[in-house]
């Protein structure tokens, strides 16, 4: 049985197997990028000779042929050749490589991943590089990082030391690494809504729609719902232009994602018609500035879907990022952009936000249906999102199944999230035959206790406010039972790749800690199976292996408060 993710279009197996599972190749025959890709295969002087040729089209198709004593790759482009190499790498993971011919090409041209670097956790460059490696292995070709304030903007000098941030040099390094892996590194920046930390500085209070806004007890909650910049003020567009210019200087992609989603303060402050006019007029100013820099615009589609009469007011080359994270997303919302003749990218999600682990049951349905609708209605591609709401407690590893399924679905639209795909993920991603079983168990445990409810209840309790119990005895018992039974099974397993064992153990422990802290808040007496301080020590160590300090102390602070009740 051959395990490949994504599935290939045509596979013809022939008699015999590859004699030597190593390659030899002429390094002068291919580009530096392809040499780097080939170097990830076993190489030996007496290895199987590999020949590689490609045309200079913009296609991504390839043909890979394996004989017992030779391997050949022919591709439509250098990028197609790169994807053939990824397939060959996966073939080399098999015990025996059969003689075969593969003909393959993607169903979507745009196959992206969107990772939150703002709301709680700023990953290190090395962590993002590992993410890029995984994306490349599964044939993804676009990366966007969500940024609000976590860049060395002139306007953020006073707050950067408290929040951690990306530097221009780090973005330049990531852009080069993406280029090596045939991934386009596209800028994404909040330029209308979700500008909370920038506008929460006293020097910019006058630019908020809500001039007299007072912060609540939970900064994460405040950031989710505010701040929208005031589109009526000339200074607002000048601030946005400055942010765009500073950030875009480190990208060479043809698109700039201006976001412009969830402008809640605007919606809640004006009648619908006036809100729509204010929104589209300000967006047009942002777009004009981006286009003056020689780029086209991407933007989230949610606000314009509420004001469809304004969609045609925007330039025809605007790309609409059509998002939904529900298990049953709306088909009509995808169909509507096709009817308008406008280009869209469908945007499902890993559903890992506000959790220690991705929600497998929801993400599988969401990613599959959004991709299917996108394919049916002619979308440019898929941008699979990995948000970090409420402190971003989940590690990247605890969102990778969603990444891999999204990659598989956007390359081969007929892919199904079934037992066979789970087995393939166990083999290629986790390299552990029980990994998906454990992931689903941890995900089910997290479903019993809500991170946002528990954390917000903790803040309200500390502020002396009335709270609703965030957990009941039945759900607490269910979490503790999963912890008792699954934790020792994971611990006893041998894992041969990545950091999945440690991250699964930490995620399950975190879910149980959260449930027991929710019990404290709910007045439920229970025998603790976990120790909050010991968990936080392990959590801190693992966090700092892969991320900057960011907002880790906020998680520690509220957990220890809830522990003290």
CA 251 and chain centroid, separation: 19
User: Cα–Cα distance between 460 and 217 in angstroms, integer?
Assistant: 7
User: Cα–Cα distance between 560 and 554 in angstroms, integer?
Assistant: 10
Instruction: Report in angstroms the alpha-carbon separations of 181 from 129, 169, 452.
Output: 10, 19, 36
pLDDT at 28 (0 to 100) = 87
pLDDT at 374 (0 to 100) = 98
Instruction: Report in angstroms the alpha-carbon separations of 434 from 341, 487, 495.
Output: 46, 13, 10
What averages of pLDDT result for each successive group of 10 residues across the chain (565 residues)?
96 96 91 96 96 94 98 97 98 96 98 96 97 98 98 96 93 98 98 97 97 93 95 98 98 98 96 96 98 98 95 95 97 94 97 98 98 98 96 97 98 98 97 97 98 97 96 98 98 88 97 98 96 98 97 97 96
Give every CB contact of residue 148 below 8 A, 6+ residues apart in sequence: 118, 119, 189, 190, 194, 195, 196, 197, 198
User: What are 309's strand-pairing partners?
Assistant: none
> CA angle 555-437-120, nearest 5°?
20
CB 163 within 8 A of CB 212: no
Ranges of each domain in the chain: 10-104, 110-417, 435-564
Give every CB contact of residue 95 below 8 A, 6+ residues apart in sequence: none
User: Cα–Cα distance between 519 and 562 in angstroms, integer?
Assistant: 9
User: Cα–Cα distance between 437 and 504 in angstroms, integer?
Assistant: 11
User: Cα–Cα distance between 369 and 348 in angstroms, integer?
Assistant: 9
pLDDT at 201 (0 to 100) = 97
Give every CB contact of residue 304 below 8 A, 6+ residues apart in sequence: 280, 310, 311, 314, 320
Give every CB contact of residue 535 below 8 A, 6+ residues apart in sequence: 506, 509, 510, 513
Q: Work out whether the CA dihedral 374, 114, 198, 196 comes out positive or negative.
A: positive
Query: Exposed, middle or buried: residue 267 (CB in 10 Å: 0-12, 13-18, 19+)?
Result: middle
User: What are 255's strand-pairing partners?
Assistant: 296
Question: Which class is 10-104 in CATH?
Answer: alpha beta
User: Cα–Cα distance between 443 and 155 in angstroms, integer?
Assistant: 40
How does DSSP classify residue 23? Answer: E
- At CB < 8 A and 24+ separation, what contacts does 123-128 make? 123/396, 123/546, 123/547, 123/548, 124/546, 124/547, 124/548, 125/170, 125/173, 125/174, 126/546, 127/396, 127/546, 127/547, 128/174
Query: Exposed, middle or buried: residue 494 (CB in 10 Å: 0-12, 13-18, 19+)?
Result: exposed
Q: What share of the chain is helix, strand, coil (3-state, %, to 5)?
A: 50, 15, 35
Residue 295: HSE in the Cβ half-sphere, 13 Å Cα cutoff: 24
How does DSSP classify residue 493? Answer: S
Instruction: Write a three-state SS string for 322-387.
Output: EECCCCCCCHHHHHHHHHCCCCEEEECECCCCCCCCCCHHHHHHHHHHHHHHHHHCCCCEEEEEEC
- The b/e string for 307-324 (b: 16+ C-beta within 10 A; e otherwise) is beebbeebeeebbbbbbb
User: Cα–Cα distance between 448 and 515 in angstroms, integer?
Assistant: 8
pLDDT at 545 (0 to 100) = 97
**pTM for the predicted model, two decimal places:** 0.97
User: What are 75's strand-pairing partners?
Assistant: 54, 62
Q: Where are the beta strands (DSSP E) in 369-514?
A: 381-386
User: Cα–Cα distance between 554 and 164 in angstroms, integer?
Assistant: 13
Architecture field, domain 110-417: Alpha-Beta Barrel (3.20)
User: Cα–Cα distance between 206 and 50 in angstroms, integer?
Assistant: 64
Instruction: Report in angstroms the alpha-carbon separations of 320 from 256, 259, 346, 464, 535.
Output: 12, 10, 8, 44, 42
pLDDT at 161 (0 to 100) = 85
User: What are 142's strand-pairing partners?
Assistant: 112, 184
pLDDT at 162 (0 to 100) = 83
Of 181, 184, 141, 138, the C-alpha closest to 34 is: 181
Give every CB contact of residue 36 below 8 A, 6+ residues apart in sequence: 180
CB 384 within 8 A of CB 215: no
* Sheet-wide strand order for 98-104: 10-17, 98-104, 62-66, 71-75, 48-54, 23-24
Q: Work out whether the CA dihedral 192, 197, 201, 205 comes out positive or negative.
A: positive
């Amino acid at each position: 049985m051959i395990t490949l993710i994504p599935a290939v279009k045509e596979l013809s197996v022939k008699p015999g197997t590859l004699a030597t599972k190593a390659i030899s190749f002429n390094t002068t025959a291919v580009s530096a990028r392809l040499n780097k890709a080939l170097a990830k295969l076993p190489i030996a002087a007496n290895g199987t000779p590999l020949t590689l040729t490609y045309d200079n089209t913009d296609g991504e198709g390839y043909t890979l042929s394996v004989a017992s004593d030779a391997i050949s790759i022919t591709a439509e482009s250098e990028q197609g050749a790169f994807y053939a190499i990824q397939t060959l790498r996966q073939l080399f993971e098999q015990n025996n490589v059969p003689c075969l011919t593969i003909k393959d090409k993607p169903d979507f041209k745009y196959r992206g991943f969107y990772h939150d670097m703002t709301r709680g956790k700023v990953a290190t460059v090395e962590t993002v590089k590992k993410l890029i490696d995984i994306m490349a292995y599964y044939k993804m070709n676009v990366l966007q990082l969500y940024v609000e304030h976590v860049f060395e903007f002139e306007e953020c000098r006073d707050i950067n030391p408290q929040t951690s941030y990306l530097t221009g040099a780090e973005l330049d390094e990531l852009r080069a690494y993406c280029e090596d892996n045939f991934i386009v590194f596209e800028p994404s920046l909040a330029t209308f809504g979700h500008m909370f930390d920038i506008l929460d500085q006293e020097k910019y209070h006058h630019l908020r729609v809500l001039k007299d806004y007072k912060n609540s007890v939970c900064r994460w909650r405040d950031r989710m719902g505010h701040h929208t910049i005031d589109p009526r003020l000339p200074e607002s567009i000048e601030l946005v232009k400055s942010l765009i210019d500073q950030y875009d200087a480190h990208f060479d992609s043809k698109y700039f994602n201006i976001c412009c989603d969830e402008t809640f303060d605007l919606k809640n402050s004006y009648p619908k018609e006036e809100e729509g006019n204010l929104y589209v007029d300000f967006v047009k100013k942002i777009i004009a500035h981006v286009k003056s820099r020689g780029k086209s615009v991407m933007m989230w589609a949610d606000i314009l879907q509420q004001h469809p009469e304004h969609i045609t007011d925007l330039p025809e080359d605007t790309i609409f990022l059509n998002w939904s994270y529900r298990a049953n997303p709306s088909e009509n919302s995808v169909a509507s952009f096709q009817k308008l003749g406008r280009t869209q990218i469908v945007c499902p999600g890993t559903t890992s936000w506000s959790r220690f682990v991705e929600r497998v049951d929801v993400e599988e349905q969401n990613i599959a249906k959004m991709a299917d609708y996108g394919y049916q209605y002619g979308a440019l591609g898929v941008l699979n999102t990995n948000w970090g709401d409420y402190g971003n407690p989940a590690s990247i590893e605890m969102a990778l199944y969603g990444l891999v399924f999204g990659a598989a679905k956007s390359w081969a639209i007929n892919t199904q999230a079934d037992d066979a795909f789970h087995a393939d993920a166990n083999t290629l991603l986790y390299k552990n035959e029980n990994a998906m079983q454990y992931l689903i168990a941890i995900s089910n445990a997290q479903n019993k206790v809500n991170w946002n409810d528990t954390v917000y209840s903790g803040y309200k309790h500390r502020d002396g406010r009335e709270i609703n119990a965030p957990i009941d005895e039945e759900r607490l018992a269910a979490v503790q039972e999963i912890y008792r039974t699954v934790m020792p099974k994971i611990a006893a397993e041998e894992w041969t790749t990545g950091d999945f064992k440690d991250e699964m153990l930490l995620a399950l422990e975190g879910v149980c800690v959260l449930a027991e802290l929710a019990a404290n808040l709910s007045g439920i007496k229970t025998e603790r199976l976990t120790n909050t301080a010991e968990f936080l020590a392990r959590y801190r160590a693992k966090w700092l292996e892969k991320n900057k300090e960011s907002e880790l102390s906020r998680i520690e602070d509220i957990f220890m408060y809830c522990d003290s009740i």
